[in-house]
Chains A and B, each alone.
Chain A
Amino acid sequence: DSGVTQTPKHLITATGQRVTLRCSPRSGDLSVYWYQQSLDQGLQFLIQYYNGEERAKGNILERFSAQQFPDLHSELNLSSLELGDSALYFCASSVSGGLAKNIQYFGAGTRLSVL
């Protein structure tokens, strides 16, 4: 058990809908990262938050947004869903931001199926 909790485990929805994925980081971790894993793209970094502030953006679509709340949990919002958004979404957390040595611990993921 990594200590990172993601809910829900599975999500099935229709095109055009909006969903919210939730992540609770390990106790004491200030950074939260979101990654997307689809069959053809592998694991791709989406976005990072550090202590409530956006730290970096990766290959995140404009239809997607995220936030980190004062209690440090994070939510990834996916809207106007398309078939191609079907993927595994992982959240990871780490203690620090800004250092070259930084171990990230991953949750079990949310499997999103867009029908």
Chain B
Amino acid sequence: GQSLEQPSEVTAVEGAIVQINCTYQTSGFYGLSWYQQHDGGAPTFLSYNGLDGLEETGRFSSFLSRSDSYGYLLLQELQMKDSASYFCAAHSGYSTLTFGKGTMLLVSP
């Protein structure tokens, strides 16, 4: 089975940098994805790590360490519109995803 742990809530101010951590216990793990979900909306894909290291996509970066069963999402130059829930998701099998419980990010002025 799969289980993922991430903080339930993180707060930050505009312009700041925030890191959302995710630890996982999985079988058949081969990658970690991050999704953003605004209240009432659908999840949207942000980033994927199949290999150890850092992946950068604009203001968002994601990191994976397989040896530590750990990853994080880094959000830079925070904007109000970044207030949302962020989910890490572990891949096992063809496109099979197991989601963490989500981290609600609150960005204040």
A binds B: no
